[in-house]
Structure 1
């Protein structure tokens, strides 16, 4: 949603970093089973599951069992560090929310509130708040019928919905519908053939990966997915790579998204250095700062045991001579 990104596997959020794309994960099961997840699954062990995008960046997960069906619609509201999960189910669903701070290193302190649950980082003031239109008394529970779940991140618990939010009216239905309509109007899905549909979904993804406060476009929302399963070439791509961003701006330009293409180019122009090489690094953070040093997260097993898990990217220290050319080419076009 221009802030961060969630990856959802069969009803389970297996990757989500808050508050922005390159932050430590809150749900990191993608890289380790113990690194946190937010799952919604049928109580029955045997079920069929399908996933498709309703519109770009709005995911529909369908479950089918002998007892009936269930639908989950997931979206991240525009302008929020949050996710809304809307459930409609004929069957009993089992919900488990297990956040873990700092890439699975710290278990949260859980506190029950009047209309939800708060998960606090034991080493800072940041927190997650889970709210619902149904009463919540545990982070693991069952539901049936229609349920809306709202998970929101705050850098300080005093800014969260159980403190500052108490003085503000919350309208999840409005937020859900406006975000759904935003993507529906932003990217017209071409349903004529599979290629057209894939192009539309891909365009929506590229637009969603532009960090909205700055205009920086990240290469990918994940870290340490291996080039070869079981191998060690596992890198962090949650940064603005000059080469990738220039090509993304061209793709958006030729697809009619001129404003977004120019935002990316303006972001890159803001990095130009007049004293030395025009672009010192091949990659920058989403706010234009120098990228962090590369580190190994030793306590995570890695995707399908592909170690090591890395955050940061040592490629930042490389001198790459071609990147200015990609930017100039994008400006020319």
Structure 2
């Protein structure tokens, strides 16, 4: 199937939902109710699952050229189309609430897509093709022309209202198709508002004022954050992307905007990443700390504590819905053909059922990192969460699990899981003075030391000359690069230095991309940034800088990173934009700024 490359897409967000717009002017993904909702534009996963295309009629022909950029410190995207007849700019945004500033961004987003067309030179013929298909493409709406010139699309629980300023709209049987001319100096606005068939109708905004408000809201938000480290431009932009993946009502950060974009074209490792992973917690907190975002960190802590609830004997789920939902059972959408024919297409993620022993370590480590923002005594919910997680680790660390890569085969004694169990108890011991007398730091310290001795004894494989992915295994795993990052071992430790060298030799090449394991066909960006951090901590700053710049070079033309990169072609793979990739970038940039950072 002929589909745009993953890197062809730009990301729009209102911190409630997100949309993807291609270089071809087509909005191919939008779940308007919230990030993990049902798509009304789903062409990303099937050519017939809905889109909204707005592009010069000459697009794709000789002489058509595209330039794109975000307006500074925003997720408002401006695309300039150069054609033989002239040039035109299309500016796309998901509207912010009127008057929203700073941390109000996304709290009450109106769920309105805004598109502005500006004639720059000459006279350009434009084409609009509006073909919504709600419920991930299962529904074809009825289209109703209204007296004021708008078109209402209604199907199932969804209402969409298409409005235009200065262009007559005509509804066909299942889509709106319009052609119009834009001359130099002329401006035309379009909007699509989302509403509920049995609830609130779509919000109507003045599109010019709405676009200006949205730009101001993003820029005001960014003005409240300062970053004074190296590579400030890419760090600031990655922080904007993380903000765009934040579900403002709860503070949860979605792992990605999309579901089922394949780790390899034609493969079946296609998962739904539109949820919030506790595993990502410490890395996210570290990135927010680097980017000076304490308010976001505090809200994310509150979300985590309430989502986890009181910790009992059952393993804490690795991921939750954006408002703390625990059961996000997975099913296959068999009617969708998948990105470039890659099936299955999944909605939901059954990893929530897995035992993953690394999760408590990530969460407690995040609390430790932001301890100074959280006060000398943690609030009750956070305190109970830390104690409960530490006790769970103390009682279960010796069990096998699925590991941080969420394998769907047998459980094993994964190295990274054991190391994160050590992290959980190490940080819990350090937090003990802030736990108001709760917990048992003496016992925790003893178990922590036992875990460390076990990892050092069982994790090293003499045959391979490295720490391997699981106890007793000869298979390398790039997650071993995490050991210096969490300060389990210094990067200069002889065995750790040997591990870094073996991972570089066996799991990487001159592209700078690091695969997670030998059979992984693509480079995993987070692991590549871990290697940057390891090289810095090993004293190889020049190599680290060169690697950082090479890896960040895989971002697309508007600075977005997906999950993985095809080392043969440089093509982006996996769900996009990927929070962990941007988190890895931020943290690696800060390590290059301050090698001693915790």
User: Scaled by the length of structure 1, what TM-score is found?
Assistant: 0.91
Pick from 75, 78, 96 the counterpart of residue 93 of structure 2.
75
Kept in 2: contact 1:250–1:261 (CA 8 A): no
2:117 aligned with 1:87: yes
- Partner in structure 1 of residue 588 of structure 2: none
Provide the C-alpha distance between the structure 1 equivalents of 2:139 and 2:193, rounded to a whole number of angstroms.
18
Q: Which has the higher strand share?
A: 1
Unaligned stretches of 5+ in structure 1? none
2:71 counterpart SS class: strand
Deviations along 1:194-229, one digit per CA (max 9) or x if unpaired, are 953322221111011111111111100100011111
Kept in 1: contact 2:316–2:359 (CA 8 A): no
Kept in 2: contact 1:296–1:308 (CA 8 A): yes
Pick from 299, 313, 318 the counterpart of residue 263 of structure 1.
299
2:102 aligned with 1:99: no
Kept in 1: contact 2:190–2:207 (CA 8 A): no
- Partner in structure 2 of residue 115 of structure 1: 149
1:39 counterpart SS class: strand
Kept in 2: contact 1:271–1:288 (CA 8 A): yes
- Partner in structure 1 of residue 70 of structure 2: 53
Equivalent residues in 2 for 1:285-296 (5 A)? 285-296=321-332
Higher relative contact order (CA 8 A, sep 6+): 1
Kept in 1: contact 2:92–2:116 (CA 8 A): yes
Pick from 39, 56, 77 the counterpart of residue 53 of structure 2.
39
Provide the C-alpha distance between the structure 2 equivalents of 1:53 and 1:197, rounded to a whole number of angstroms.
13
How far the C-alpha of 1:23 sits from its partner, in A, is: 0.8
Deviations along 1:240-287, one digit per CA (max 9) or x if unpaired, are 111123322221122111101111111101123325158621111111
Provide the C-alpha distance between the structure 2 equivalents of 1:9 and 1:142, rounded to a whole number of angstroms.
19
- Partner in structure 2 of residue 2 of structure 1: 15
CA change 1:36–1:274 in 2 (3 A) is same
Provide the C-alpha distance between the structure 2 equivalents of 1:179 and 1:277, rounded to a whole number of angstroms.
46
Q: Which has the higher helix share?
A: 2
Provide the C-alpha distance between the structure 1 equivalents of 2:71 and 2:237, rounded to a whole number of angstroms.
10
Kept in 1: contact 2:142–2:153 (CA 8 A): yes
Coordinate RMSD, CA, aligned: 2.0
1:8 counterpart SS class: strand
Unaligned stretches of 5+ in structure 2? 1-13, 97-108, 370-598
Provide the C-alpha distance between the structure 1 equivalents of 2:327 and 2:209, rounded to a whole number of angstroms.
37
1:251 counterpart SS class: helix
Which one is further off, 268-277 or 3-12? 268-277
2:140 aligned with 1:140: no
2:304 counterpart SS class: helix
Provide the C-alpha distance between the structure 2 equivalents of 1:266 and 1:278, rounded to a whole number of angstroms.
21
- Partner in structure 2 of residue 127 of structure 1: 159
2:184 aligned with 1:184: no
1:153 counterpart SS class: strand
CA change 1:184–1:257 in 2 (3 A) is same
Provide the C-alpha distance between the structure 1 equivalents of 2:347 and 2:137, rounded to a whole number of angstroms.
13
Q: Which runs of 4+ in 1 moved over 4 A?
A: none
- Partner in structure 1 of residue 208 of structure 2: 173
- Partner in structure 1 of residue 263 of structure 2: 227
Provide the C-alpha distance between the structure 2 equivalents of 1:176 and 1:136, rounded to a whole number of angstroms.
21
